[in-house]
Chain A
Amino acid sequence: MRFLIRRLVSFAVALLGLSVVIFAALRILPGDVAVVMAGLNSPPGRVAQLRAEMGLNRPLPQQYIDWMAGLLTGDYGKSMLTGQSVTSMVVERASITFPLIIFGLLIASAVGLGLGVAASLATGNGVRTFFRVFGIVGGSIPALWGGLLLVLLFARGVGLIGLFPSQGFPQEGWGSPGAAFASLVLPALTVGLIDGASLMRYTRSALADVMHNGCMIEAMACGYTRAQALIHVGLRVIVPQLVSVAGLMFANMVTGVMVIENLFALPGVGSGLIADLGDRDLIAVQSELFMLAAFFLLVGLFVDVLHRVLDPRLRRSSEGRM
């Protein structure tokens, strides 16, 4: 319990610190949304007028306080350019990015865990070689290139076997679930296969480490075969490590899939953030960044807590210290 409280306090402090850093860093960037809005041929007075309209000429501390006050009441502000509320913008984009990540992570876990276990069990030289090659080749393919390959193979109208659409998200969004799902298949496969390969390498090495752990030997002594011991005992032992890896992978992907979103023309969180930053739509960017950072921290918090649930040793050690 004390752990949880301590963890929550550090979470809040980290968020506050982040908000300052984000706010300050964005103000240092050269560029100005008013100049962007006014364009190339407008008279100089126009920029000042726009700045006044958008409240950009207020002193910075006041802007920061207004922003924080909004955040505390759940108001993330309005984009200066699109006039939409940042929350609705992020929700709209997340409705593409999150299914993509979850879908990708599912594929990655299926590939990673399955092949990782299989690789640990394999005894034949050829088979081991195959797994190693898969891990290395898969893990070192740049996401962009891997995505292009998948497009060339499976995209409708472009690929060898035209199975899936490769461009964009349906106009109706999740209103037409079939089409929406289909448009995520190739991007998710790209993410899943590449991250799956790294997850496989990780699983394999963790299992190899655990192979000599006492509980495995005990399990085998009790009559388990090597395979049984690995799956029933070994996997159970490495689950906490896998959870932290998967958690970080998940958090990283929120912006990490940006390249994929661009390649497949999906209007997701990452590509949206880049567009807003390019336009110097600072209110939108700072709230988006804040949400992302908060999300990242939340995943960390969740992983930590989950860790203690999954790994009894941690609980005992901290209880002992108390």
Chain B
Amino acid sequence: MPKMTGAYNDNDATDEMAEDTTNSSVEPAPDAHDSDTVNATPGAIENGSAMVNASDASAAGSGSGAISTSGSSTDPSLNAHVKHVRGAGAVSRADSRDSIHRRGTVRSGGGVRGVRQGVIWTIFAIVVVVAMIFVITFAKQQAPKVKPAGKPADTVTIGLKLAPTNLDIRNQSGSSLDQALIGNVYEGLVARSVDNKVVPAIAKSWVRTPDGKSYIFHLNDGMSFSNGDKLDASDVVWSIDELMRNGYQGADTLLNFKSITAVDERTVRLDLTAPYADLLWVLAGRPGLVLDKDGKVDMKTQALGSGPYTVAKYVPNSSLTLKANDRYWAATKPATQTIVLRYFSDDNAAVNALKSGAIQVLAPIDQRLVSPFKKDTDHYVVASGDDTDKYVLAMNCAGEKTSDRRVRQAIRYAINHRELIASRGGADKPLGGPIPSLDPGYEDLNDVYPYNPDKARELMRQAGYTPAHPLELRLTYANIYGTELGDQLRSQLKAVGIDLKVNVVEFSTWLQDVLKNHDYDLSLVDHNESHDFASWANPKYYYNYDNRDVQLLYGQAMVSLNDKDRDDYLRRAARRVSEDAPADWLFNYRITTAMEKGVVGFPLNLNQTLLPLSLVKYTPLV
């Protein structure tokens, strides 16, 4: 599955904003503005007005000269008046003291008295702030939570992280779109189950010819789209023809495609030029989606499918409201009438929403914010599910320094995966190779390069580097993954003689520099796609990994006629890739979901790419 901007299920992916929040809520704040407080105290007023004048002046650049004119025109006359008034002795004592005090401190840059006062103010401010924090923390612990009794709710609101930028499932990449729409609004010829196997959907059964080159799909009876249009073989044929003709998202994964024809109203025949072991799985994703050939909707803002839900309202980057489809053809109707998907870019905001009951489910929840929900077992359920997210530390195989296999191997030996995972909350799994446990061909490859800094140092020495003369490498990754991972890698690699320069960029910059232009030494990204081994068999991909054996093994896997052979070839290819060390797989991310106790039917596995909602039901606790 291709994906897009920030389409990464990173629960740790704090943008800098979120991180700021955590820090300031944990540590009493004044540290940051200590100096501000001290300086500001005596001269606060002058500073204040100076600032205003400055901004006036900058505004004057755009034409508002009058503002500063008025400031300067009043000043001299003011001073004149002050002198005049003093001479006449007509000023009240408080006033003159005030003006002398102000002038004194400002002119002398803060005398002894000013300094002492500054210190007092600082202490005072700190005390106030600390007191506030204490009051809030202690009072919070006693705040009881009372829930009303009730029957199943009509509306369930689900908090998610990455929002789809538009609803155009044919053109816009991104797993958040698959997550929201596939299986809910759109249905495919076949579908994926929560353990990542192919199950029937619009086709109730299928057979493959013995040569593996043709598939016959038998469709369900009496199907219709949510606008009432009939769904039959002609829609299936039209959808896949359009996909191939226009090269929509995923068209390139439908390999060996020859033709698709309607045998009759309820039977479709798909022909291939050569067997393709992943065909059914590919059809469970975007390429297999069946759209209404007569439907006329703006694909970017609306969605017309045959699934259990329809799109009621879509606010880009904010929320998507789904309503049950009254015309849904299957026997099982959706359990909840309205489901609202809300997107939170700020992790703290998301957690607050769950606490306040604005959402009933939050997936993913930030590992560092999860503990209050874990403790409160009376009201919340927290669970982690398996996923196919691979945090790939790619090492440019064609790079000037990283083309040396010893350097790449040293990096793999030098990384302490257990430590990385522990610091992220411990939910993730170590992953020694390119295939995660939910995908075919998985094998535990963690023993290929176990953590061994001595071996790493030895390899680096052979390559000509020591901690005294370190190798300088640049790590480029997107800011959605937070800065911690880069910092940890830097310190782990420093121990073996690598000086890592961490370059955290915007995701679109990463796409341009690394993915498109292959301009990097090391890169870190979360590849969440399932069945994506093909990228290791593609020498033009940004890994620049070119191994003939791997390409042949993968090719053989894809023409296998049974799953056992396919899995066997993939396993061998994956081991080979891992041994060549074109990348290190930092961990296999596992998604953590927190929900209120009355929620049932919410899938835990894979729920960032595949989120069937028709079973989700929420009964508020008694």
Q: Give the B-binding residues of A (Cβ under 8 A).
A: 7, 10-11, 14, 29-33, 35-47, 49-50, 81-84, 89, 92, 123, 132-133, 135-137, 139-142, 144-145, 148-149, 151-153, 155-158, 160, 162, 165-169, 171, 198, 201-202, 204-206, 208-214, 217, 226, 240-241, 244-245, 248, 259, 262-265, 267, 271-272, 275, 278-281, 296-297, 300-301, 303-304, 307-308, 311, 313-314, 317
Contact = CB atoms under 8 A, between A and B. Distances in A.
A219 to B, nearest CB: 13
15 contacts: A32-B508, A37-B171, A40-B4, A42-B249, A123-B94, A133-B128, A168-B342, A168-B353, A201-B48, A205-B45, A209-B74, A248-B56, A271-B317, A301-B64, A314-B70
Contacts of B300: 81-84
Candidate in B4, B55, B342 with the most chain A CB atoms within 10 angstroms:
B4
Nearest to A203: B48
A258 to B, nearest CB: 9
Contacts of A209: 74, 78
Contacts of A244: 56, 59, 64, 67, 70
Given A41-B1, A136-B125, A214-B81, 14 more contacts: A11-B63, A35-B516, A36-B507, A39-B173, A40-B4, A41-B535, A82-B300, A92-B315, A140-B37, A144-B20, A244-B56, A304-B64, A307-B66, A313-B70
Interface stretch (B84-92, B426-434, B442-450, B489-497): B84-92
Contacts of B321: 171
Interface in B34-93: 36-37, 40-41, 44-46, 48-49, 52, 55-56, 59, 62-64, 66-67, 69-71, 73-74, 77-78, 81-82, 84-85, 90-92
A148 B25 contact: yes
Interface in B339-366: 340, 342, 344-346, 348-350, 352-353, 355-358
A122 B166 CA distance: 57
B5 interface: yes
B532 to A, nearest CB: 7
A157 B55 CA distance: 40
Given A82-B300, A275-B317, A313 B73 contact: yes
Given A7-B63, A42-B249, A279-B165, A30 B48 contact: no
A60 to B, nearest CB: 17
> What are the nearest 7 A-B pairs in CB distance?
A39-B173, A157-B356, A83-B300, A31-B508, A39-B2, A205-B45, A167-B353
B67 A208 contact: no
A41 B5 contact: no
A207 to B, nearest CB: 10
B223 interface: no
B143 interface: yes
A165 B166 contact: no
B247 interface: yes
Chain B binding site: helix, strand, loop or mixed by DSSP? Answer: helix
A316 to B, nearest CB: 11
Nearest to A135: B44
Interface of B: 1-7, 17, 20-21, 24-25, 29, 32-33, 36-37, 40-41, 44-46, 48-49, 52, 55-56, 59, 62-64, 66-67, 69-71, 73-74, 77-78, 81-82, 84-85, 90-92, 94-95, 98-99, 102, 121, 124-125, 128-129, 132, 136, 139-140, 143, 165-166, 168, 171-174, 247, 249, 252-253, 298, 300-301, 313, 315-319, 321, 340, 342, 344-346, 348-350, 352-353, 355-358, 506-509, 511-513, 515-516, 525, 527, 529, 532, 534-535, 540
B349 A263 contact: yes
Contact of B95 (A7, A206, A211): A211
A44 B59 CA distance: 46
Given A42-B2, A211-B95, A245-B52, A160 B140 contact: yes
Contacts of B82: 212
A81 B165 contact: yes
A36 B2 contact: no
Nearest to A296: B62
Contacts of A281: 165
A14 B355 CA distance: 48
Contacts of A166: 352, 356
A36 B4 contact: yes
B5 to A, nearest CB: 5
Contacts of A35: 508, 511-512, 515-516
Candidate in A36, A245, A314 with the most chain B CB atoms within 10 angstroms:
A36
A42 to B, nearest CB: 5
A236 to B, nearest CB: 13
B281 to A, nearest CB: 14
Contact of A205 (B37, B49, B345, B352): B49
Contact of B357 (A140, A157, A205, A206): A157
B58 to A, nearest CB: 9
A89 B317 CA distance: 11
A10 to B, nearest CB: 4
A171 B352 contact: no
A204 B48 CA distance: 10
A272 B346 CA distance: 14
Candidate in B63, B90, B173 with the most chain A CB atoms within 10 angstroms:
B63
A311 B70 contact: yes
A136 to B, nearest CB: 6
A267 B342 CA distance: 11
A303 B55 CA distance: 14
A149 B136 contact: yes
B216 to A, nearest CB: 29
A40 B298 contact: no
B252 A43 contact: yes
Nearest to B357: A157
Contact of A36 (B1, B98, B511): B511
